[in-house]
Amino acid sequence: MKYYITTPIYYVNAAPHIGHTYTTIAADTIKRFKTMQGYEAYLTTGTDEHGQKIERAAKAAGKTPQEFTAVVAEEFRQQWKSLGLAIDFFRRTSDPLHHKAVQQMFQRCLEHGYIYKGSYTGQYCVFDELYVNDAKPGDPCPDCGRPTETVTEENYFFKLSEFNERLLKLFEDQPDFIQPETRRNEVLAFLRRGLSDLSISRTSIKWGIPVPVEGNHVFYVWFDALTTYMSAVEGEDLWPADLHLIGKEIVRFHCIYWPAFLMAAELPLPKKVFAHGWLLFENDKMSKSRGNIVRAMPIVKVMGFDALRYFLLREVVFGKDGSFSYDALVQRYNSDLANGLGNLLSRTLTMLNQYRDGYIPSETEVDLEAWSERVMKLYDAFDFSRALEEIWTSISWLDGYIVQEQPWKLAKSSADGDQDRLDRVLYTAAEHLRMIAALVSPVLPETAEKIWRMLGMEQSVGEVRIDTLAKNKLRAAQKVSAAAALFPRIDAGPAIAQMQQLEEEETVRQAALLGKKPEAPSVAPANVAPMSEQITIDDFAKVDLRVGEVKSAELVKGADKLLHLRVDIGEPETRNIVAGIAKAYAPDRLVGRKVVIVANLAPRKLRGIESRGMIVAASLEDGSPVLASFLEDVPVGARLK
């Protein structure tokens, strides 16, 4: 039984950061638990190297695209290698084998009548490599808010419009094709609006795979990139993929374009697409302009890779957005890893050594089968945080059990049965730890291996299979090792300072690699605007500022700067608010976001909509707004004072 997983093929205009690492860690974890379930699991990742964005990045770095992409692709490859991620296929889209696969894919679609020649004039977002239908010159990209560019080209078109019904049927017949449910609903809504044909070739750029037709056409990057999932495993009998793991911003490409291309080529479709949420930094989007991108290496050097893996998969509900912060990382490490798992292991080993010369006592009835099934079920649903919670529940239970049984008293007792009871307590604790090590191994492979060895197990924990795990209990008289600290406690202050220092060094190193100067955060205004006239506290108290949550957001027709928001500020009905933030924020990026509202501002009509309140934002030098937000979770309706 094979199981084939892919991560996105990452763009090489940026060096690897924690966002890429997040997806790749999750994919590695899935590969590990699938292996544990008896599958032969394979993982593909790679680099997406063509297109205008990369061409421009290479030019800015003073390199040819070939030189530039080679350097960054190597950086990705090295990153995954030094982290020990279990990658089987690393495919660069500049690889000639891949070129051939893309051209064949095109040929198949052409032969089946799904490709025609046409002309396109319209708006294009270079950042997202996306044609923006219905946009006018000067309009921002609906996905990233950056300005679009007008392009006119003679192109080859893919008849995407012919796949509307088939795609709807696919997602109805296979309701779990797209997960989580919210993403599926988005795709269905998109399909219901109807699909337009898609231009899949470019003549305006050179850096791409040549289309096998007359003229200088190269492939549209998404036609090229998506095909990597197949080309990477050509001849391996692995297609169709069981799982495409992606971030939520590229769902449309994976759930509409990709299945349509495959249907047109009459090739098998992948079985599932799971889109996880965004990893934010202290609740803010990570971006170059904010200067708040975090890299994995500095964290790994200070805290260890397993600590990062644990944090990301425990703290963030997989599928939802989540926040990274150094504080939260150290806190989780100390509470769950040092005090939780690490402490339990060292306690158990110490007792075994002190009371039983380091030998496992005779076997006792310990039935952990149902519990391990529960954990595996959660892994299977990619619900990593709950799987880990379930494991940590057992750690707490064991802590409580040891306290209750008081083995230190039993050890000194010569009363009838007390030594047998001590054997039972020690065996129960050790057997639990064996199971914990195995079940936690997909997330904490290094730690699990250490625990496994300390318990005196012979094979590697990676060889454990779930169907025999609970039955192959610890053998009596097996020798365990001396106690050792798995996770020494970490002092937050110095550790965070060290990570930040290393982060700065890593930023400089990566910037040099990309041929750039490290960018200073643009949100720090160079000049402070003159202060307004002083007011008293009573003046300020007149302004009723409230925490609100954006429930919906849409562009106001005929106004390119305005968004129409519906904001919940804890009143029975949401408020209509019209805000001039459309250039900086795409509507769907705002839904669910907590914002600050001036709630007692007199209503006024804007473009026919009565706006009841104002959204608070910092105004940067160039006039662009940055919305006020909170690092902690705050309830809707709370007043700001």
Residues forming the site for ligand MSP (CB under 6 A) = 8-11, 19-20, 22-23, 48, 225-226, 228, 246-247, 249-250, 278-279, 286
Query: Which tokens hold the place of 164?
Result: 């509307």
Q: How far is CA 247 from CA 308, 315, 316, in A?
A: 19, 17, 13
Q: In this structure, are residues 163 and 266 in contact, taking their beta carbons and an 8 Å threshold?
A: no
The smaller minimum CB distance to ligand MSP, of residues 13 and 372, is found at 13
State the Cα–Cα distance between residues 450 and 465, nearest whole angstrom.
Answer: 18
CB of 290 to ligand MSP, least distance (A): 12
The smaller minimum CB distance to ligand MSP, of residues 288 and 347, is found at 288
CB of 277 to ligand MSP, least distance (A): 7
State the Cα–Cα distance between residues 50 and 91, nearest whole angstrom.
Answer: 13
* SS3 assignment, position 255: helix
User: For residue 285, which amino acid is it?
Assistant: K
CB of 8 to ligand MSP, least distance (A): 4
CB of 12 to ligand MSP, least distance (A): 8
State the Cα–Cα distance between residues 203 and 219, nearest whole angstrom.
Answer: 9
CB of 181 to ligand MSP, least distance (A): 19
The smaller minimum CB distance to ligand MSP, of residues 63 and 248, is found at 248
The smaller minimum CB distance to ligand MSP, of residues 228 and 364, is found at 228
The smaller minimum CB distance to ligand MSP, of residues 279 and 313, is found at 279
The smaller minimum CB distance to ligand MSP, of residues 205 and 351, is found at 205
Query: Which tokens hold the place of 64?
Result: 């040819």
CB of 287 to ligand MSP, least distance (A): 9
Instruction: Give the residue from 437, 446, 470 showing the smallest Cα distance to 349.
Output: 437
Instruction: Give the residue from 260, 4, 146 showing the smallest Cα distance to 586.
Output: 146
CB of 228 to ligand MSP, least distance (A): 6
User: For residue 314, which amino acid is it?
Assistant: R
CB of 442 to ligand MSP, least distance (A): 19
Name the closest residue to ligand MSP (Cβ).
19
The smaller minimum CB distance to ligand MSP, of residues 226 and 451, is found at 226
The pair phi, psi for residue 335, each rounded to 5°, is -75, -45
What is the per-residue DSSP string for 583-597?
TT--HHHHTT-EEEE
Query: What distance lies between CA 166 and its chain's CA centroid?
Result: 29
Q: In this structure, are residues 211 and 221 in contact, taking their beta carbons and an 8 Å threshold?
A: no
The smaller minimum CB distance to ligand MSP, of residues 143 and 399, is found at 143
State the Cα–Cα distance between residues 462 and 474, nearest whole angstrom.
Answer: 17
CB of 16 to ligand MSP, least distance (A): 9
Q: How far is CA 250 from CA 129, 247, 379, 410, 516, in A?
A: 11, 6, 23, 59, 27
CB of 270 to ligand MSP, least distance (A): 11
The smaller minimum CB distance to ligand MSP, of residues 158 and 371, is found at 158
Instruction: Give the residue from 75, 79, 74 showing the smallest Cα distance to 25.
Output: 79
Question: Across-strand partners of 553?
Answer: 565
State the Cα–Cα distance between residues 503 and 505, nearest whole angstrom.
Answer: 5
Q: 3-class secondary structure for 304-319?
A: CHHHHHHHHHHHCCEC
Which residue carries 């914990």 as its tokens? 436
The smaller minimum CB distance to ligand MSP, of residues 230 and 436, is found at 230
The smaller minimum CB distance to ligand MSP, of residues 156 and 253, is found at 253
CB of 455 to ligand MSP, least distance (A): 35
Q: How does strand 625-627 pair with strand 617-619?
A: antiparallel
Instruction: Determine how many CB atoms are found less than 10 A away from the CB of residue 423.
Output: 20
The smaller minimum CB distance to ligand MSP, of residues 286 and 616, is found at 286
The smaller minimum CB distance to ligand MSP, of residues 48 and 306, is found at 48
CB of 247 to ligand MSP, least distance (A): 3
CB of 44 to ligand MSP, least distance (A): 10
State the Cα–Cα distance between residues 31 and 26, nearest whole angstrom.
Answer: 9
User: For residue 355, which amino acid is it?
Assistant: Y
> In sequence order, what are the residues at sequence separation of 6 or more whose Cβ sits closer than 8 angstroms to the Cβ of residue 208?
50, 51, 202, 218, 219, 221, 224
Which residue carries 């963030």 as its tokens? 316
